[in-house]
């Protein structure tokens, strides 16, 4: 029962966090899909199925928060690089502010602000 509760909770937590992390991963630089996955999988517990990142990228592109450009690669065919659009930068700034507020609040509750 406890395991189920924890699984549900961590799944919900990851769902919201992944979009924030994807946008932050391409903040100020353009990366191709696999590079984004590599950067995110280093965060412990964040990415359970690596494939999850690709539908998120697709959705963010559809919403206009990220744009894509094709770049030639020395290792094979041209790769699709993702970068933040102006709208994406605004959204990311809003999301980061919101995350900071939540994190500060949680830190305070945990007594980490002292």
Partner 1 sequence: MINLTDAAKEHLEDYLRQVRMFLQGGSVDKDEIEQNIREHIESELQEASEPVSYEALDAVLKKLGAPEQWISDEDIPGWRRCFMRLRRGPEDWRLAYITFGLFILWLLPVCFTQTRLLLAHLFWWPMTIMFGPGSGVLLVLSFIFARATLSLARDSKELEGKKVLIYPSLILFYIPVLLVMLFLPTVVSIGISVGISQSHNETIMQFRSSYEHLYWTFVVFVCAAVTFLWWLLLARIHKGRPGFLGTIFRPFIKTFKPKIANRIMGVMAGLTLVCAAALILIFAHEYWLEYM
The Cα–Cα gap between 28 and 95 comes to: 16
Contacts of 107 (CB under 8 A, 6+ apart): 113
Which is nearer to partner 1, 33 or 99 (by Cβ)? Answer: 33
The Cα–Cα gap between 16 and 37 comes to: 16
Nearest approach in angstroms of CB 93 to partner 1 is 24
Nearest approach in angstroms of CB 33 to partner 1 is 4
Which is nearer to partner 1, 62 or 114 (by Cβ)? Answer: 62
Nearest approach in angstroms of CB 111 to partner 1 is 31
CB–CB of 82/30 below 8 Å? yes
Which is nearer to partner 1, 73 or 93 (by Cβ)? Answer: 73
Which stretches of the chain bind partner 1, using CB under 8 A?
Answer: 15, 32-34, 37, 48-52, 54-55, 57-59, 61-62, 75-77, 79-80
CB–CB of 23/14 below 8 Å? no
């Amino acid at each position: 029962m406890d395991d189920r509760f924890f699984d549900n909770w961590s799944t919900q937590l990851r769902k919201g966090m992944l979009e924030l992390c994807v946008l932050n991963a391409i903040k100020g630089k353009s990366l191709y899909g696999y590079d984004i996955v590599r950067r995110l999988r280093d965060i412990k517990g964040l990415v359970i199925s690596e494939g999850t990142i690709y539908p998120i990228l697709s959705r963010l592109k559809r919403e206009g928060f990220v744009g894509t450009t094709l770049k030639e690669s020395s290792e094979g065919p041209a790769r699709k690089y993702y970068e933040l659009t102006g709208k994406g930068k605004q959204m990311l700034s809003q999301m980061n502010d919101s995350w900071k507020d939540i994190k500060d609040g949680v830190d305070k509750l945990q007594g980490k602000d002292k």
